[in-house]
Structure 1
Amino acid sequence: MPGSAESTGEYRGKLHPSVARVREAVRTALADLPRDTTVLVACSGGADSLALAAAAAFEAPKLGLSAGAVIVDHGLQADSEDIAATAAEQCKALGLDPVHVRAVEVGDEGGPEGAARTARYDALRDAAEEVGADVVLLAHTRNDQAETVLLGLARGSGARSLAGMAPVAGILRRPFLELSRSTTAAACVASGLRPWHDPHNDDPKYKRVRVRHEVLPVLEEALGPGVTEALARTAGLLRADADALDVLAAELAETAVRRTDGEVRCDVGLLEGEPAALRTRALRQAALEAGCRANDLTAGHVAAVDALVTDWRGQRWIDLPQGIRAVRRAGFIVLAPGVTP
């Protein structure tokens, strides 16, 4: 029960190492926030998020912060409402307040995983705005990071995708990216918490599940232990590189990309002499500003637009997502809906 030695992670007067690690991770993630900041924990009731909820409930008051929780009910299982209610009760028992349950409708755009993710993040941001929270904590672990890198490799993605999930992204913070899934599970056991196991986490129709249960074990067997840690470390290194390149690309876009009524125009003369890593980033940003959605805009799309700059042979136009076209006209790449040469 909450408040007992077991529920606080103590055993024979000593704090269990796993509980100490999750608390330290949360304390570090929250240390820069001013007092009276409101923090929300995204909690599904699973082991990772339940360990996060318990750690936040313990650490936030010590830092002068208010900590609540938000539970997103995706409605993808017959008993999802009961599962969400149980998670909410667990969060309340830990002392989190306020605790909100958000029911969402999951569409089909971007596949089942992508659609659920979009609905979830929208709900988290809405909940944060409603209660005036400045931070939402997510329970992604080092294992999740490694899986994200492998999924990015399979898509043939660039450095930004392979950089995985950022520890801080706007109001979102991920304290557990340096911790293993086994650590959060052990913290739940040590604290007497009873996490829910999502059956979707074992369903091989999801790519992430296949990576988790089939791909990573094969890599560990073939290459030896430490693959998960190495992939997560690679993500961190690539993120630093991608951040630096993004800054330089933004500076290039300031001069080479012009925004006019209904069109985005990219100056070929200013782009063609730049390194591909900067040029393609600037072109991708131009496509997004023209109306393409990030999830739909692929590296292949950007490469085709880049060919209008570096390999111009009179191509007619490039069709991009959301009905955007890219054409070369009078020394500019023009991006707009239905634009013609």
Structure 2
Amino acid sequence: MTGPSREVAAVRLAVRRAIEASGRARRGVLVACSGGGDSLALAGAARFVSSRLGVACGLVTIDHRLQEGSAERARGIDGWARSEGFSPVLNVAVDVGRSGGPEAAAREARYDALCKAAHDCGGATVLLGHTLDDQAETVLLALARGGGPRGLAGMPATREIDGITFLRPLLGLTRAEVRAAGVQMGLKPWEDPHNTDPAYTRARVRAALPVLIDVLGPGVVANLARTAALVADDTAALDELAERALSVARVPDGLSTDVLATQPAAIRTRVLRLFAAEVGANALSQCHLVALDALVTDWHGQGAVGLPGGVLVGRTGGLLAPAVR
């Protein structure tokens, strides 16, 4: 009796390691499945692995309602999952807004729905099907947009959102490997036309990646992903130092600008981002950070800085604090 192919074994092993390394995943996993080749292969492997580990394995598909026939496709995934023994099986339709553009709005709606679904399942851990190629594309997008280290760090293998753990077990495997595994498992994926629609930025990056491979060689995908991993390690260390610096800079009602001024820029700007989040301002742009930093390092009496959420932060003497409009 022959065993699974190399690709099937690799996907199953990646899923097994991710579940075993996460204490929360032992309470149950929920596979986010669009019906595409990557997430379908993940679902097939997760169902196999979870049954052997004694872990409950459900599946959720999110219908963004952005394409004709999306509800029918979601029902098809729903039916397949039930026939394969996934439990629970959830089919969630969402309303996609417009904030931040179509891709960002769809992503926000999707993660909100996944968090709710996981909470409804008792805090299940969500498995996502992103691959090594997706990671390389994310790094290229960050470079093109002038993203800082946080963007270049790419997608984390483990992330917590609203108390729910998200795992990406397949980040170490190429898209070709994962999809080959799906074919060998007898799965029939649906190809999302948005993945090749040039109206979407990621689709354009995906189309450009083969050109980079031709010019720079086949190792470019793995090298971009390796860059993300290295930057992620550095970012985590800097974030930890910033947490410490924030506690040192705290004074009643705000932060000491004298203490902040002694910090390197990489630490200081992280402290400012953390402080802004504390006072209700998230999603800061680089322009916001530059203006906040100028209150510390180049203050000549300028007024308060307006931040997202209608928050104002200003300086009075040696104190950086929320300002009143």
Return the TM-score normalized by structure 2. 0.94
Q: Out of 14, 30, 36, which is 2:19 matched to?
A: 30
Contact 2:19 2:26 in 1 (8 A): no
Q: Equivalences for 1:35-54 in 2 at 5 Å?
A: 37-54=27-44
Q: CA deviation at 1:275?
A: 0.9
- Return 5+ residue gaps in structure 1 as ranges: 1-11
Matched residue, 1:317: 304
Aligned residue for 1:14, secondary structure, equals coil
- In the alignment of these two chains, the number of paired residues is 320
Aligned residue for 1:15, secondary structure, equals coil
Aligned residue for 1:333, secondary structure, equals strand
Aligned residue for 1:182, secondary structure, equals helix
> In structure 2, what is the Cα distance between the partners aligned to 1:147 and 1:32?
26
Q: CA deviation at 1:266?
A: 2.1
> In structure 1, what is the Cα distance between the partners aligned to 2:261 and 2:124?
42
> In structure 1, what is the Cα distance between the partners aligned to 2:38 and 2:295?
47
Q: Out of 300, 305, 308, which is 2:292 matched to?
A: 305
Amino acid at match of 1:273: T
Matched residue, 1:331: 318
Aligned residue for 2:221, secondary structure, equals helix
> In structure 2, what is the Cα distance between the partners aligned to 1:269 and 1:91?
59
Q: Equivalences for 1:278-293 in 2 at 5 Å?
A: 278-293=267-282
Contact 1:40 1:135 in 2 (8 A): yes
Matched residue, 1:97: 87
Amino acid at match of 1:288: A
Q: CA deviation at 1:182?
A: 0.6
Amino acid at match of 1:283: L
Q: Equivalences for 1:101-120 in 2 at 5 Å?
A: 101-120=91-110
- Return 5+ residue gaps in structure 2 as ranges: none
Matched residue, 2:70: 80
Amino acid at match of 1:269: D
Aligned residue for 1:88, secondary structure, equals helix
Q: Equivalences for 1:169-248 in 2 at 5 Å?
A: 169-170=159-160, 171-214=165-208, 216-248=209-241
Give me the CA root mean square deviation.
1.6
Aligned residue for 1:334, secondary structure, equals strand
Q: Equivalences for 1:266-277 in 2 at 5 Å?
A: 266-277=255-266
> In structure 2, what is the Cα distance between the partners aligned to 1:107 and 1:88?
25
Q: Out of 41, 58, 71, which is 1:68 matched to?
A: 58
Q: CA deviation at 1:36?
A: 5.6
Post-superposition Cα deviations, 1:183-205, rounded to whole Å, max 9, x if no partner, equal 11101111110001101001101
Q: Percent identity?
A: 49
Post-superposition Cα deviations, 1:156-202, rounded to whole Å, max 9, x if no partner, equal 22112210111111210000000111111101111110001101001
